Amino acid sequence: MDPDSVSKAFVEHYYSTFDANRAGLANLYQEGSMLTFEGQKIAGSPNIVAKLTSLPFQQCQHHITTVDCQPSGPAGGMLVFVSGNLQLSGEQHALKFSQIPGNNKSLEFGTMKTNGKAIAVHTLIFFALYAILILAVHVHIYTG
């Protein structure tokens, strides 16, 4: 399956459901899902849907401007970035929004899965090479 087609179909379904019936989004979230909304972290499907249904506006219309997708990880996951405009009922100007659906599994950088140990090893290698440049080669970095 083409990742772009799958991601666009999902985005269309998600935002049309959001605009028409936010409670209908419950089956798209899992117990491990997390929503960060204006700095507040909300975990789990029931809590996320409660937050979405309690937003102070009842009617809205999402206008999607970009859907960027790339395969992510060996398990066939996808990383999707969505941006667009949110028109609230009774408001003259639309609000800008962006969203990256994701999960709380292992860290991913691009399509390379990693974990805390790998990050620590790469950090140590980086600082070892940096120290060699400073001490042995006498490379100095000045900030001004």
Q: What is the pTM of this model?
A: 0.66
Same domain, yes or no: 89 and 123? no
Position 59 in a domain: yes
How is residue 66 written in tokens? 């970009």
In angstroms, how far is the first alpha carbon of the chain from the final one? 51
Same domain, yes or no: 20 and 50? yes
The CA distance from 96 to 62, in Å, is 10
Position 109 in a domain: no
Q: What CATH number corresponds to the domain at position 100?
A: 3.10.450.50
- pLDDT reported for residue 108: 44
Write out pLDDT tens, residues 98-121.
Answer: 887 654 444 444 444 556 676 777
Same domain, yes or no: 48 and 73? yes
Position 132 in a domain: yes
Same domain, yes or no: 28 and 78? yes
How is residue 76 written in tokens? 């066939």
Same domain, yes or no: 19 and 57? yes
- Per-residue CA distances from 129 to 4, 8, 136 (Å): 39, 43, 10
Same domain, yes or no: 65 and 94? yes
Same domain, yes or no: 80 and 140? no
Same domain, yes or no: 71 and 140? no
Spell out, as residue ranges, where the chain has pLDDT lower than 50: 103-112
Same domain, yes or no: 78 and 126? no
Q: Which domain holds residue 65?
A: 3-104
Same domain, yes or no: 25 and 59? yes
Write out pLDDT tens, residues 10-19.
Answer: 889 999 999 9
Per the structure, how many domains does the chain have? 2
Same domain, yes or no: 138 and 78? no
Same domain, yes or no: 93 and 28? yes
- pLDDT reported for residue 106: 40
- pLDDT reported for residue 127: 73
